[in-house]
Structure 1
């Protein structure tokens, strides 16, 4: 009988504590995941840092941006990228001045780049998204790209797709900007469109959108949004060897909780 009471107590505490953890504790974490990619002669090296899906809202306020800025700057990035969804719903929550200041405080020695996410179109955000990112020092790539010569002489192409849900994405337009390069990175908000870059001599695709499922309960598959059904979280090798990384994002949407999917910044050391 004592054992049964003890098990019931543990069960009740678990049911109480897990929601508290999921809604109040884990969303405040910021985990930095480090990866290394090597290709070719490996004579060139750069650091690329990815931030995604901040989705500022009353549940994930601008007060959390200081921690994000601090952790980004600790990585000492050459290239900083943002793969979409700045505000959760711009019409309802939009601390623009604070966001611009935080974006501007994020440092990268060579360049800062962003692409559009579906939330950057919704809620009236399409009127201000590019301006806010530009004021924060980011170049917004919309089916376009740039070729960069890194300090050590390596040539990097970085391209960005328009949002696949509410924009007009075109992988062909992105690739039309690409000429001579040693390493090619493509940014897209929705990860499933990475398949469009198979057999295009693309080395790395960076995406977000899925939030990594946001809530990971063992033996129960989390629902995923459109264009994130195939690639949901973490690192994938596509059929031609192209690497795809799906960042789990920082903020939340719909249910403002995270469980076993902590907010993430990705840091890539790339040798080529």
Structure 2
């Protein structure tokens, strides 16, 4: 083999190694902070510009270390958003108290001026329902099957939480049973398929995760695999017949530890009243 052929073969081999390792070792670890404007017609005027940091699908476990989650929590706190919302799947493995007891002391360090609000996902139930519910309550972040108001003067918004679509009772109506007719209601629900279930309460916005954005997004084709019944629910802001739905790509991984054209994200949502957004 002459020098030219050797260099060509070496470069081709290096390119293949890079292409194979990039989704596993590089993109999967590049966590972006992405900012979105979310129009909400019935948003109280005093909440125009209200900022939410949205965390989801952390999946502490294999290839997602405690130190990595510590960094995510620190970055989220440093954004100084008005509130933080978390929509589940904080651990990865089934039947593990160890991962639950590792991740929640870290998540309990989340802090924002108007509070931190969290629900559980299917992986949290698969790990251990009772232990996950214990930490959810102990953290002071529990919003499952209930709602809590955030006030600015006399105006308010409500943050409510659904149970997981697969492993819990959803109970959207119960969550907002104490709300008033004209309230702005924001629902946290791990699985976006919850939007298509039966409930009567009008919702102003639903925040979800679960899909990871597909983890692999092929240009012009989209994500080949989405773990939802409604395949329109991938990531970003989606207009559904009943309510606006925002799906974050989340932090961790499921099935395979890869990401391609689908960076993990901390989503920062700016709530805006369209009448003031011109």
TM over 0.5: yes
Preserved contact between residue 113 and residue 141 of structure 1 (Cα < 8 Å): no
Say if 2:74 is the partner of 1:73: no
Name the counterpart of 1:43: 46
Work out whether 1:225 is the aligned partner of 2:243: no
Q: In the TM superposition, what is the alpha-carbon distance from 1:214 to its structure 2 partner?
A: 0.8
- Provide the residue aligned with 1:113 in structure 2: 117
Whether the 8 Å contact between 1:190 and 1:228 is mirrored in structure 2 is no
- Distance apart, 1:182 and its partner CA: 4.1
* Aligned twin of 2:252: 251
After superposition, the Cα gap between the structure-2 partners of 1:238 and 1:80, relative to the gap in structure 1 and judged at 3 Å, is same
**What is the SS of the residue equivalent to 1:121?**
helix
Flag structure 1 segments of 5+ consecutive residues without an equivalent.
none
The 8 Å contact of residues 213 and 223 in structure 2, kept in 1 or not, is answered as no
Q: Normalization by structure 1: what TM-score?
A: 0.86
Q: CA deviation digits over 1:75-125, x for unaligned, max 9?
A: 2122211101111115357345542332122111122111121111113x2
Report how far residue 8 of structure 1 moved. Answer: 6.8
Give me the whole-angstrom Cα distance separating, in 1, the residues matched to 2:189 and 2:119: 7
C-alpha distance in 1 between matches for 2:17 and 2:116: 42
**Which of residues 124, 129, 132 is equivalent to 2:132?**
129
Q: Do the aligned partners of 2:186 and 2:207 also contact (CA within 8 Å) in 1?
A: yes
Residue 180 of structure 1 and its aligned partner are, at CA, apart by 5.0
**Residue 99 of structure 1 corresponds to which residue in structure 2?**
103
User: Residue 227 of structure 2: SS of its match in structure 1?
Assistant: coil
Partner of 2:214: 213
Partner of 1:150: 151
How far apart, in 2, do the equivalents of 1:10 and 1:220 lie? 30
Q: Which runs of 4+ in 1 moved over 6 A?
A: 2-9
**In structure 2, C-alpha distance between the alignment counterparts of 1:61 and 1:55, rounded to whole Å:** 9
Paired with 1:244 and 1:184, the residues of 2 have a C-alpha distance of 12
- Within 1, Cα distance between the matches of 2:143 and 2:70? 22
Q: 3-state DSSP class of the match of 1:43? A: helix
Listed as ranges, the gaps of 5+ residues in structure 2 are 274-278
Aligned partner of 1:84 in structure 2 is: 88
Q: Provide the TM-score with structure 2 as the length reference.
A: 0.84
Residue of structure 1 in register with 2:142 after alignment: 139
Pairwise CA RMSD of aligned residues?
Answer: 2.8
Contact 1:120 1:126 in 2 (8 A): yes
